[in-house]
Structure 1
Amino acid sequence: MKNIFLFLTLLVLSVCANAQKIQQQDSTNIETLDEVLVNAVRVNADSPITHSNVTKEQLSKRNLGQDLPVLLSYLPSVVTTSDAGAGIGYTGIRVRGVSGGSTNVTINGIPYNDAESLGAFWVNLQDFSSSIENLQVQRGVGTSTNGSGAFGASINILTDAVNNDASASISTSFGSFNTLRNNVKFSTGLLNDKVEISGRLSKIKSDGFIDRASSDLKSYFLQASYKDSNRLIKAITFGGTEVTYQAWYGVDVFTIDTDRTINIAGTQMDDAGNVTGYYDNQVDDYKQDHYQLHWNERFNNRLSLNVGLNYTYGRGFYEEYVDDYFYQNVFFSDDSKFSFLGLNPITVDGNAVESMDYARRKWLDNDYYVANASLNYKYNKLDLIAGGSFNLYEGDHFGEIIWAQYAVDINKDHRYYFAQSRKTDASGFAKATYQLNDKFSLYGDVQYRHIDYKTSGMASDRTPFEVDKSYNFINPKVGISVNLNNQNNLYASYARANREPSRNDFENGPDVKPEQLNDFELGYRYNTKNLKFNANGYFMYYNDQLVLTGAIDDVGAPIRANAGEGYRAGIELEGYLVLSDKVSLQANATLSKNRNLNKGQFLNGEALGETEIAYSPSVVNSTAINYAPVKNLQLSLINKYVGKQLMNNIGDKDSKIDAYNTLDFNVNYELKPKVIFKSILINGIINNIAGVEYNSNGFDYGGGYYVYYPQATTNFLMGVTLKF
């Protein structure tokens, strides 16, 4: 099966690459005021920046409650993973092998990445795909954006556009693992041709593929807009609550062959080491609310201004049961000891007791403020955007004991660790596209970022955690685009990005250094109505690259370390071919070489030389066959192949995630009755039709101890959306 789809991928790409005369596509695009909200962080179709655009319609075909990374998994160079194994709850995305913590995410131009961890927690964007108008994924460094630098990709999201007409919809979907999603959406349409109010409420529940890896997700989205011919004002609030049973420990190498769904989180044992049960409330419980205000003013055909303000309030905890026997004999951890908690030993029945079972909560309480502004000037051959952003993050990290085996001397509000963090991020940029003539256009972009990061108090392991760092980065980008004719485009670009370490990086190595990336891109685009083909070559050279070591910390976050110099080199191919009014083919493939140069690094006294970068498959490809036998019905067969990945950076061939190949079937059918409903959309997907047992992620703790993240075998989701 794998060979068949690899052949189809290459066939589609070959046909696309050699096509000559097919009807030209009308690419005329009238820019709306909504789209101006993301102008500062996006690029246009013939820009020398490698990118993919995804529309609301494309998302809706697979949007049945799974997280956004899963819906983007078939884009070029993308690999996704799910802790619960079914795409709901904690999910992750890697682009060109780069971790999600190095992917910049913005929502309406507002940075979404967590200011400290630098990661994007998709579990806190519950059912957010239902409120997305469109998005753009830029691979590599991309254009200057707000927030942390992009080291593998940036994902720029635009939420729902203003609707002219009133509408409402009710959507429900259900499927394997007791998955159930319900949402309602509404729009008043433009009232008095000026004002629109719209919103969404959603609830998703799933048991997950992994044992007890349940998710209980609730979310909302509310938007009020004022619009006239030259002005758009949007007030947006969105957020929700996630309660997910922890599944971040994975399944160890000694168990994976006999029990792929086991979950050791919350394990309770007796004094002989026998498992007696699992803690019911071993959950991650987090709430996050976002408030955005956007003002876009178009002064004339040449000049427009966009201002965005944001406040995000996040608070929550993860609760866990610390079993004395389990932690000391399985985790080899001192967390159950009184000395770890800063408590004195006690005497029970005349015997000294120095450890115990207890339940704790590790809290995060944070505030995040953002102010963005950009000015866009267009005149003749020049398109210039200049702007800036200021972000302020303040967060408290602390731990509480909520139950103890013994009556120890603990105050009601006792915190066994407490830390405070403050981070400011100020940046300014100017980017311009200049059209030299009908064929040549030049692109230039420069950004300056200043970061201050300070912490005080203790880390969660009760060691002192004091950081006081400042960084100044200059990130230049240049490119050229050549339109050979209406169908053919060539481009080349160079971009530099600098990126600060995350909080976890400082916790795991106080001497950690910022990383730098030099990104070279060279590409070709062929674009007509029935045929599209893109070929892009990239060379990404790193200094002090922060790479995943293969281990995770006590909250399931991947541990990274500086790896000196390294590079990622590859070619990305994309093709879309319309064979008839019923059949179309889509394919993409990435072939790459990813290496740590490891200069001066040794293992067992021997120089390492070049080694593979962890979590960087050399082959990633996807193929889709779309068939529309009758009007409003589309059937799609979708294949995804991911090559093997190593889980460490020392070239250990045993530390690997095997290659995998999956096949999904997607169906979409829309009825358009003449009464009551505007439309009835029925869609469904069968994931992993062949029932392949595969692992999408894993970690290497050293000494031959590996853990993996098994994904679900054959499973399904079905949904119905009623539109009024």
Structure 2
Amino acid sequence: MKKMKNWLLTGLFFMIVSTVFSQGKVTGTITDATGGSLPGANVAIKGSSTATSTDFDGKFTINSTTGSGEIVVSFIGYDNKTVKFTVSNGSTTNLGEITLASNSNELSEIVVKSTVIDVAKDRKTPVAVSTIKAAEIQQKLGTQEFPEILKNTPSVYATKSGGGFGDARVNIRGFNQNNIAVMINGMPVNDMENGSVFWSNWAGLSDVASVIQVQRGLGASKLATPSVGGTINVITRTSDKKEGGSFSSGFGNARNFKIQGSYSTGKLSNGLSASVLLSQTMGDGYIQGTQFEGSNYFVALGYTTKNNKHDVQLTVTGAPQWHNQRSTASTIATYQQYGTKEDPNTRYNADTGYLNGEEYNIRKNYYHKPIASLNWDYAINETTKLSTVLYASWGRGAGASATGGIKGKAYNDVLAFRRADGLIDYDKIYAYNSGQTVTIGGLTGPQTRTKIGGVYQNSSFFSGSNADWNAQTNTNTSGISQTSSINSHDWYGAVINLNKKLSNTLTLDFGFDGRTYRGYHYTVVNDLLGGGEYFDNFIADLKPNGRHLTTTYPTTVQWNVFDKKNYEKISFNSTGNVKWYGLFTQLEYSKDNLSAFIQGAVSQQGYKREDDFVYKSGDPLRSTPYENVLGGNVKGGANYNINEKHNVFVNAGYYSKQPFFNSVYPNNRSTVNPNLTNEKILGFEAGYGFRSKYFTANVNLYNTNWDDRYLRGNALPANTVPGLAANTTYTEYVGLNEVHSGFEFEGSSNITDKLRITGMFSYGIWEYKGNATVNAYYTADNSPVPGYSATQIYMDGVKVGDAAQMTASLGASYEVLTRFFLDANYNYNDNLYAGISPINFASPTNKGSLQLPAYGLVDAGWSYKMLVGQNKDKSVNFRLNINNVFDKTYIAESRTNIFADDNVSSTNPALGTYASNNRLYKGVADANQVFFGFGRTWNFQLRYDF
């Protein structure tokens, strides 16, 4: 009997073990309504921690330890789908093709768990949105700048600006990137002092981004962000993407080279996961003298509890880089001088040259801005979820430029230090600085400097007289140095969001957004270029004797961001402190075909300035109290799905946007702007969407009013007021208003299983509304310029410049052979106006904004995916990109507004106009300072996915 019991227990034990540990595989393919594969869709076995992601072709394989169950498929912008399965021990069950509803937001390689990340959902979130998935970023970006991947999105205008690595910029609906909210995994990254986004600091985003959503207009963010033009929402890789990795190498023109490797563990049985990516890139740059080198690192660590109640993600990413720049926008005539009249040398760089036989550029950017975030998502119960992100960013770096002058001549003077080929003769500057006799263009006879106190003394002194300077300093002794303006910061923040499902139709979000920022701004000496010392006399406590400095600091990237360098500072030294406290809430309604929301956010920003150079010890302005400014927004919208194919939406919103730091404390002084006021933005939008198996389309209409815009302008021209010296003033505009209205279309069509067509068209009317006034102040003490207060400028109807108001694109991709694709895209830009200075509109009969020539560019490429490995589950990928295939020459932006019928001389009209003197290029006066776009570029990439 005892043996019988043992046998029964043993048999029962083996049955249990064989049941628990039975192994079976479930496979399938995830597609959208058009039949297209969805790479990166999440596939999980319900009730367990077992999960995987689909591969590039939408296929998945998942192991099940039970004979039956349900898999849950999820994908951003698509409805979740649950599918039952049964599998025999040791066998494989193929579920075939699983189709998810909706197809406009084909996001990849990411599952958003956090309610902090505001992802617009197709046919539900009532905002205008375009989505770019990881596969497209990896394939088509190549050697382009990160913002350029957005150029085929409606109302987006992206240019390379000066052409240095990471110096690109982007406009949305006519608003520059200072007024576009850039978010990374729900974290705001716009500079807290001025709203700037320097893409060189984020050059690695193209490597780690899983998806980019461009939410035009008000956007879906619940935070009180400065999204006047829109929101660029970047969602990075996660630690728990499926196990595997990749290795890639690429090269292109201008000796561009990049290498990259990544690996992810996938979610382990204990809930832990990790993902790592490293890359390195370098090159000579397309523009003369713009060599660069950049690295990128990304580390993500994750943990998910077995009951899926807690999900924690720790992410650290950074992109330390240095790059030489082209900061000087030369005139068209200068580009022609070093090329030909018909074929200007568009690669010409007025900042680069040679020193000691080697290429040397005094303009250089070097920066390292890692960002770390800890995301915790807590599913409290079936109806309540808490999402928290704690983040920190430490920026360390600067932009190097030239300080000082030689007898009133700057380093980039068109005559003084220019070689016959147009490059700067830094050897001549070095020779003069070190006391050698040289000939300087524009000056008569040989030139030799004299010593002060036994040394050749450099300074920021340029020309003329200045009582702050050493009495011996004059135009015979000044020199040119390379200095760097440090712009470092420590930034800490937290966003907490509680998501509560009140009923089957209502969901409430409310949360807190807190940030603290400390920015360090000062200048250091990098290179005396042959000089013996640097004389600085900007510290109020040390005047009139000043300081004599000999220490120089290299222009190298600081990898250790926690090392606060003890630099000898020159010229200025100030610290900007910004504190931000915000509360936000959103109520969302969703039932059947109708979804609607209303949002509200309020924030208080405090600004504090510290300055121990301008102000003496004991001066209360040396450290100001916080100047607190309240702002916020309210917005709402609704989407209605007429049927499975048609939907419509509307939204509206109002922003009271706090001014930037330099608006609160203008001209780097610690007195609060007496004209301080919030900017007011009122926006309306309506949209229509169409979905079918073969064609999708989105149409949007929008109107945005931007009132009380703060804008600081250039100095008044010399003698505007009798006796006024040049570059001793600045201007400020009051009551400047803009209206941005427009139409947008975006569509795609699967003509056949192998041919896909995409297109977009946008037309904007972006103009200033009404007139404004301008005030002028002396830079020395912020005192008003007599006779130049509340001077009227005539802006009504003037076109907003710096971005194309009409854009269009048409693209096609065709699968010639299995997994062998050819693609091409045509991008067209028109109604492009030059950047303007409102001071040019003091007359009611002004000519408005200068319109630049329209241009269209063709990009093309081919790709091939070769399946390898025993199970054909690995691949080798080949990709060739050619941008601007036909090598089109075009003006991408102009910093001046000089018209063809303007006189070539303001003092001698008898000399005629630019047109009468045959000084036009494609109808544009050759005195305009412009940046041309890049000509033909190419790159090739080889990637192994495993």
**TM-fit CA distance, 1:215:** 2.0
Structure 2 counterpart of 1:514, from 650, 675, 678: 678
Indicate whether 1:260 and 2:346 are aligned: yes
Secondary structure of the 1:628 match is: strand
Q: Which amino acid aligns with 1:615?
A: D
2:631 aligned residue: 473
Kindly indicate whether residue 391 of structure 2 is the aligned counterpart of residue 314 of structure 1: no
Given residue 516 of structure 1, which amino acid in structure 2 is its aligned partner? K
Match of 2:371 among 285, 290, 294: 290
Conserved? CA contact 2:481–2:527, under 8 Å:
yes
Residue 10 (structure 1) aligns with? none
1:91 aligns with 2:175: no
- Tell me whether 167-176 or 410-419 shows the greater mean CA deviation: 410-419
- The one-letter code of the counterpart of 2:523 is G
Q: Distance in 1 between matches of 2:610 and 2:460?
A: 21
Cα contact 1:547–1:563 (8 A) shared by 2: no
Q: Deviations over 1:215-248 (max 9, x none)?
A: 2111100010112323210111111211011212
Q: Report if the CA contact (8 A) 2:633-2:653 is conserved.
A: yes
Letter in 1 for 2:498: L
1:410 aligns with 2:605: no
Please give the alpha-carbon distance, in whole angstroms, between the structure 2 residues aligned to 1:559 and 1:587.
Answer: 43
Q: Which residue of 2 aligns with 1:61?
A: 139
Q: Give the CA RMSD over aligned residues.
A: 3.4
Alignment match of 1:633 (pick from 798, 801, 820): 820
CA–CA distance in structure 1, aligned partners of residues 816 and 495 of structure 2? 48
CA contact (8 A) 2:280 2:294 kept: yes
Q: Determine whether 1:483 maps to 2:483.
A: no
Larger radius of gyration: 2
The Cα of 1:697 is off from its aligned counterpart by: 2.4
Are residues 1:706 and 2:928 paired? yes
Tell me, yes or no, if structure 1 residue 722 matches structure 2 residue 944. Answer: yes
Q: Quick one: which of 478, 493, 497 aligns to 1:355?
A: 478
Structure 1 residue 130 displacement after superposition: 1.6
Query: CA deviation digits over 1:563-582, x for unaligned, max 9?
Result: 62221111101111111111
Residues in 2 aligned to 1:647 and 1:30: alpha-carbon distance in whole angstroms: 36
Cα deviation, residue 202, structure 1: 1.1
Offset of residue 490 of structure 1: 0.8
Change in 2 beyond 3 A, CA 1:421/1:125: same
Closer, same or farther: CA 38–661 of 1 in aligned 2, 3 Å = farther
Q: Which residue of 2 aligns with 1:690?
A: 886
Can you list the C-alpha shifts for 1:540-565, whole angstroms capped at 9, x where unaligned?
Answer: 111113469699xxxxxx99955622
Q: CA separation in 1, counterparts of 2:858 and 2:939? A: 15
Aligned match of 2:298: 221
The structure that is strand-richer by fraction is 1
Which position in structure 1 is the counterpart of 2:91? none
Q: Structure 2: how far apart are the matches of 1:291 and 1:49? A: 29
**CA deviation vs aligned residue, 1:346-389 (integer Å, no higher than 9, x gap):** 47xxx984522222121122100011100112230112221121
Per-residue deviation at 1:277?
A: 9.3
Structure 2 counterparts to residues 545-624 of structure 1, below 5 A: 545-546=709-710, 564-599=736-771, 607-624=794-811
Alignment correspondent of 2:693 = 529
The alignment status of 1:645 with 2:833, answered yes or no, reads yes
* 1:211 counterpart letter in structure 2: Q
Give a deviation string over 1:298-350, Cα, whole Å, max 9, x none: 12331111110011111112223336239646889994349879651447xxx
CA distance in 2, matches of 1:241, 1:340: 40
Gaps of 5+ in 2: 1-98, 337-343, 415-458, 536-546, 552-567, 716-729, 775-789, 899-905, 907-924
Say which of 135, 140, 158 aligns to 1:80. 158
Report the Cα distance in structure 1 between the residues aligned to 2:793 and 2:313, rounded to whole angstroms.
60
Deviations 1:407-439 (A, max 9, x none): 45524524331001100111111112213x433
Query: In structure 1, how many angstroms separate the alpha carbons of the residues matched to 2:408 and 2:227?
Result: 38
Residue 489 (structure 2) pairs with residue 366 (structure 1): yes
Which of 670-679 and 232-241 deviates more? 670-679
Q: Offset of 1:160 from its aligned partner?
A: 0.6
Matched AA of 1:523:
G
Give the whole-Å Cα distance in 2 for the aligned partners of 1:696 and 1:30: 31
- What's the offset of the Cα at 1:502? 2.8
| AA aligned opposite 1:443 | F
Q: Which residue identity lines up with residue 201 of structure 1 in the other structure? A: L
Q: Distance in 2 between matches of 1:235 and 1:608?
A: 50
CA distance in 2, matches of 1:285, 1:126: 12
- After TM superposition, list the pairs within 5 Å mapping 1:326-365 onto structure 2: 328=409, 335-337=460-462, 343-346=469-472, 353-365=476-488
Cα distance in structure 1, aligned partners of 2:278 and 2:493: 25
Q: Is the 8 A contact 1:65 1:181 kept in 2?
A: no
Matching residue of 2:421:
none
Higher relative contact order, chain-length normalized (CA < 8 Å, sep 6+): 1
Gaps of 5+ in 1: 1-23, 270-274, 552-557
For structure 1, which segment, 599-608 or 203-212, has the greater mean C-alpha deviation from structure 2 after superposition? 599-608
Instruction: State whether residues 465 and 507 of structure 1, in contact with CA within 8 Å, keep that contact through their aligned partners in structure 2.
Output: no
Q: How far, CA to CA, are the matches of 2:572 and 2:707 in structure 1?
A: 35
Change (3 A) 1:327 1:716: farther
Q: Distance in 2 between matches of 1:545 and 1:235?
A: 39
Residues 146, 256 of structure 1: alpha-carbon distance in 2 compared, 3 angstrom cutoff: farther
Query: Percent identical across equivalent pairs?
Result: 20
Partner AA of 2:205 in structure 1: F
The answer as to 2:602 corresponding to 1:448 is yes
The 1:562/1:694 distance shift into structure 2, 3 A limit, reads farther
Q: Decide which moves more: 494-503 or 371-380.
A: 494-503
Does structure 1 residue 232 correspond to structure 2 residue 343? no
Using the TM superposition, give the Cα deviation of residue 56 of structure 1 relative to its aligned residue in structure 2, in angstroms: 1.5
What amino acid is the match of 1:317? A
Cα deviation, residue 685, structure 1: 0.9
Q: Secondary structure at the match of 1:36?
A: coil
Against the structure 1 CA distance between its residues 533 and 367, is the aligned structure 2 distance closer, same or farther, given a 3 Å change threshold?
Answer: same
Report the number of matched residues: 683
What pairs up with 1:34-183 in 2 under 5 angstroms? Answer: 34-37=111-114, 39-45=116-122, 46-85=124-163, 88-146=165-223, 148-163=225-240, 165-183=242-260
